[in-house]
Structure 1
Amino acid sequence: MRVHVVSDVHGNAEGLAKAGEGADALICLGDLVLFLDYADHSRGIFPDLFGVDNADRIVALRTARRFEEARELGRSLWAGLDREAAIEAAVRRQYAELFAAFPTPTYATYGNVDLPHLWPQYAGPGTTVLDGQRVEIAGRVFGFVGGGLRTPMRTPHEISDEEYAAKVEALGEVDVLCSHIPPEVPELVYDTVARRFERGSRALLAAIEKTRPRYSLFGHVHQPLARRMRIGRTECVNVGHFAATSRPFALQW
């Protein structure tokens, strides 16, 4: 059995259409939407609406952790516009292309920049969406936990630590623990380019230590200090920033 795993697709529909080649199934760990590309400020919903110069400004403020100034810039740009309607229309255009690129079968969960309420409208019969749920694939049990934890960035699908922990608890023992964000381990949550610690989950770390799955697979941190490490018997793997690499992680058994 060969399963390909991707995360942080961020608009890379061309790569996604090829991600399942040679595999029996595809797993996607979220962040399909491209709101703003920190490597190329001309790409994404934000520059499409407000131009590259404003994208440059907001990236600089966020990188400097001047979040209140970044929010103030955002408020001034959005003034007089229907923010929710504009974002949803842009996300719908991206989702139509991205979900059409999923092979059959695909198992997917949400990232912190996704809009989960739209997924049922775009996920076809070959795509199974899971969140706080388990599925068996060729004799191995995979558990899925979607979304991110609350941060000053205030991305669309951030939830409380308590709600997130409840989803992790609902999985019980699994062979492969699949999540968008990593367990709360410094080497796994530190982004070497952004030069900051992203939010990881203590509940995921506790589940790894308690239930000892074979693998913990995740994304979210685009340039991590460590892409993989062991916690006891569990191999923890950041499956990569698919938007930049177009390379899936291969899991075989």
Structure 2
Amino acid sequence: MRVSFVSDVHGNYDGLARIAERAERLVVLGDLLDYVDYHEPGNGILGSIFGADRIRTFTTLRANGDFMELHAYNRDLWETLADPVGTLTEVVTGRYEQVTRILPQDAAVILGNVDVESVWRQVVGDRWPDLDGTVLEIGGRTLGFVAGGSTRPGVQLRPSTGPWRPYVRDARDFRASLDRLGPVDVLCSHVPPDVPRLRYDTVPARLEMFGPGLIEAIDAHQPELAVFGHVHQPLARRIRRGRTECVNVGHFQRFPDAFEMQW
């Protein structure tokens, strides 16, 4: 069986449709949505609601690292709307409905840190089960799944102050889902393990979010494969740790190819 892994779709639904059409079995590792498209400011959630010109200001602040000003600007954008939650939910719902028309019924799907879990579950119902903390057998291999992003251990999850509710979890919650898996052949997550070469994004020049407990699970159980996404331009796309091949399956939005394994 050929298994095709993709992550960080970020709105590239045409590319996803092409992969879904030819995949023998498709595994999606999250970030179906694109909050801000830094390459095409008129796309993404913010671009579709507020227009490209306003989002160019957002992307400039982000590129300059002016995060306090960025957060204030983001808040001010949403405050221009009479019903920000309703507007956001309508846009996200429409995009998730588009995804459901693409995905094959046997696709294995988890969400990433940019996704909105509550809206996804409302849209898909039980058509695609919540795989977080569960093990699935595909082609004779066991795949264990941990969804979403995570805070760092010891860092309290701060409540969101705006309408956007990204799927970022408390580190203890993330690790509890991981612990439910036990030994598997393939460890699947959206975020990478805590390995600097896998976490470092060369464009913003910083270490990105990681999954608490992932590296410990890899060392303890030595799965054949650990697959993930989240870091768009990593210092290293794959490394070997013991007998485990750790692989960033790619930034699908910009490079719409799947990482494929034949079992």
- What TM-score, normalized to structure 2? 0.90
> Do residues 231 (structure 1) and 232 (structure 2) align?
no
Instruction: Give the 5 Å matches for 1:1-253.
Output: 1-81=1-81, 82-123=83-124, 127-150=128-151, 156-253=166-263
SS at match of 1:20: helix
Range that drifts further, 15-24 or 201-210: 15-24
Aligned mates of 1:49, 1:22 — CA distance in 2: 33
Number of paired residues? 252
**Contact 2:41–2:56 (Cα < 8 Å) also in 1:** yes
Aligned 8 A contact 2:187 2:226 in 1: yes
Higher alpha-carbon deviation: 64-73 or 213-222: 64-73
Identity %, equivalent residues:
44
**AA aligned opposite 2:118:** H
SS of the equivalent of 2:213 reads helix
The offset of 1:19, in angstroms, is 1.1
Instruction: Tell which deviates more after alignment, 97-106 or 213-222.
Output: 97-106
The Cα of 1:126 is off from its aligned counterpart by 6.2
- Structure 1 gap ranges (5+): none
Gaps of 5+ in 2: 153-157
What secondary structure sits across from 2:180 in the alignment? Answer: helix
Deviation track 1:77-135 (CA, whole Å, cap 9, x = no partner) reads: 22242222211111011111112101231000010011112223433776443111111
Distance, in Å, in 2 between the alignment partners of 1:60 and 1:91 is 24
- Kept after mapping to 2: 8 A contact 1:184/1:201: yes
Which one is further off, 122-131 or 209-218?
A: 122-131
Contact persistence 1:109–1:130 (CA under 8 A): yes
CA contact (8 A) 1:28 1:109 kept: yes
Greater shift in the superposed pair: 122-131 or 154-163: 122-131
1:169-216 superposed Cα distances (whole Å, 9 cap, x missing partner): 111000000000000111111111122211112411111011111000
**CA distance change for structure 1 residues 20 and 49 in 2, over 3 Å: closer, same or farther?**
closer
Report the residue type matching 2:200 in the other structure: Y
Amino acid corresponding to residue 197 of structure 1 in structure 2? L
Give the whole-Å Cα distance in 1 for the aligned partners of 2:120 and 2:57.
31
**Rounded Cα–Cα distance in structure 2 between residues aligned with 1:77 and 1:23:** 40
- Secondary structure of the structure 1 residue equivalent to 2:60: helix
Partners of 1:150 and 1:202 lie apart in 2 by 8
Partner letter of residue 177 of structure 1? L
